[in-house]
Amino acid sequence: MEVTRLSIDGALEIVPKVFRDDRGWFKETYARSRYLPAGIDADFVQDNLSMSDRFVLRGLHGAPRMGKLVQVLSGSAYDVIVDVRTASPTFMRWHAVMLRANEHHQLYIPAGCVHGFLALEDETLLYYKQSSEYDPAAELGIAWNDPDLAIEWPLGGVAPILSAKDASNPTLRALRLAQGESFGL
């Protein structure tokens, strides 16, 4: 597999080896023995699958102790990581990757970062592994359009389709002010 370190500390883009023949293809989507030397030491405990239509924007979400390994199984997505770890040298930096099912790329999002994606096609399937089980009390939600982050979503003037929860997420600045000293990721 090929591993590329991204501009956010600990974030990786992974291209697994795909074996093709006249029947189709095969790929290994995760093997601890191969991902550990790349820097992924997460103990994955929960897998999730979401289906989204074009222009659905999910995020930005995360949890202090939750790392994720993300890939698109069908369709394509503009996937964004934001570092919200206050002690990180890449704090408040964002990095985006295009994930297309036919390219087989994966994205590793380290614990303490938030994640969101914009579906670029109808019926985009996003599959991800998590290093901690979902806990609503531990979840961070940050506004997808936070002006301090200035994420460049490829919306082309179209308003994204958001859940009520995502539409009401606070900015990172407001979240940090509300949580005060307890925010320290």
Q: Is 35 a catalytic residue?
A: no
Q: Which of 35, 78, 108, 128 is catalytic?
A: 128
CA distance to 20, 96, 155, per residue, from 78 (Å): 26, 7, 10
Helices (H), the chain: 32-35, 164-167, 172-179
Distance CA 105, CA 89 (A): 26
Distance CA 71, CA 109 (A): 11
Q: Which of 30, 35, 61, 127 is catalytic?
A: 61
Q: Is 61 a catalytic residue?
A: yes
Tell me which residues are annotated as active site. 61, 128
